[in-house]
Amino acid sequence: MATEIERKFLVKGDSWRKLAAGTVYRQGYIATQKTATVRVRIVGNQGYLTIKGPSVKYSRAEFEYTIPIEDAQEMLDTLCDRPLIEKIRYKVEWDNLIWEIDEFDGVNKGLILAEVELTDEKQHIELPDWIDKEVSDDPKYFNSNLVKHPFSQW
């Protein structure tokens, strides 16, 4: 079983923008329950199907599979809740870790979050100067919840 250990933060300022180019992501959710989340995503020319278990602190089970882009597009068009999540993801290397900065578009425009995957929940991390408040424990910032309660409606 794969385990994702991730912390999430709000981002401040624009200094991070010069550190990486962005990639467009489109994703939707087929199912969001307390026990599992099923996500479909298109990144560039590749489709992905991801199943995640419930979060326990910073960790959760995660299973991700590549799927044909045509299948991913069909699932986004016909099976996923609306609105879809639209964002540009920037990957920034900082202190030997990869930070993924998501700049949301559509109904979540204005929200910018940074996530960092860790190997251990107690792993020490140096926070870049563009990191603001930690929101790892706040479910309103989960992408699956941004479908139900978009940032523009807060």
Catalytic residues: 29
Both tokens of 130, joined, read 């563009």
- Grouping H, G, I as helix, E, B as strand and the rest as coil, residue 4 is strand
CB proximity list for 103: less than 8 A, separation 6 or greater: 22, 87, 88, 89, 90, 112
DSSP code string of 26-53: EEEEEEE-SS-EEEEEEETTEEEEEEE-
